[in-house]
Amino acid sequence: MTEPPQEEGAQTFEELGLSKEVLTALSEMGWESPTPVQRDSYPLAIAGHDIIVQSRTGTGKTGAFGIPLVDKLITEDGDEQALILAPTRELALQSAAEIAKLGAHRNIDTVAVYGGASMERQVHALEKGARVISGTPGRVLDHLKRGTMNASKLRFLVLDEADEMLSMGFAKELHAIIERLPKKRQTLLFSATVDRAIKRVAEKHMHDPQFLGLSGDHVGALGI
């Protein structure tokens, strides 16, 4: 008889060492165990690494960045903020909603910032001190240029569906946004494909990124 393959790492949210508040939120959401991308991203993210995660929609990628953000990276009594950039308003809204649920028992406000909606409401939420800002590149750049969003506390950057953002023509906005962010920050990049254009973004804007492949079984240097 052959032994079943031994899975590495934590198999449950408890084993990942999540806070009581986030475990409660996950149980209310009905999430019983981490998906592979969540299980593998968490330790790297909380250790402070920049990561490139090759992942498709449906793999739990929102949780893969949302859980470490609300659990450890954003501290309740600190002032650091996270900026999540997504290619579409639907995705920006969806991520904001999911992260609000994940952080429901921690004092972390989330705002979605996207085009075609009132600037005023977004400015109000930003002024009130939202700690997680989920938006589309055009509108986020707009807020940064007008000074209605302050980049100095944006210590965490998530590029969600990075390949889609590039193929939709947001490269210029992305670079303009990232150039305004603090140099000392952590960047988490999620993309279904990791081609040369993505590697160029990583090379230019990320610090020694760790790479997590699709199967979740190879973590390593990307060789860029």
- Helices marked H in 69-205: 89-102, 119-127, 137-146, 162-167, 171-180, 196-205
Q: Which is nearer to ligand AMP, 34 or 103 (CB)?
A: 34
CA distances from 115 to 90, 150, 175 (A): 11, 18, 18
As measured in angstroms, the least distance from the Cβ of 118 to ligand AMP is 26
The nearest distance, CB 145 to ligand AMP, in angstroms, is 30
Nearer to ligand AMP, 63 or 135 (CB): 63
In the complex with ligand AMP, the residue whose CB is nearer, 58 or 220, is 58
Dihedral of the alpha carbons of 43, 48, 50, 56, in degrees to the nearest 10 = 30
Closer residue to ligand AMP in complex, CB, 59/134: 59
Q: How far is the CB of 147 from ligand AMP (least distance, A)?
A: 32
CB of 114 to ligand AMP, least distance (A): 17
Compare residues 80 and 98 and give the one whose CB is closer to ligand AMP: 98
- Cβ(97)–Cβ(220) under 8 Å? no
On the 0-12 / 13-18 / 19+ scale of CB atoms within 10 A, 122 is buried
Smallest distance from ligand AMP to CB 172, Å: 27
**Least spacing, CB of residue 62 vs ligand AMP, in Å:** 3
Nearer to ligand AMP by Cβ, of 133 and 158: the residue is 158
CA-CA distances (angstroms) from residue 123 to 51, 134, 160, 164, 197?
Answer: 30, 13, 23, 27, 33
SS3 154: strand
Integer Cα distance of 98 and 119 in angstroms: 22
Binding site for ligand AMP (CB under 6 A): 31, 34-35, 38, 57-63, 98
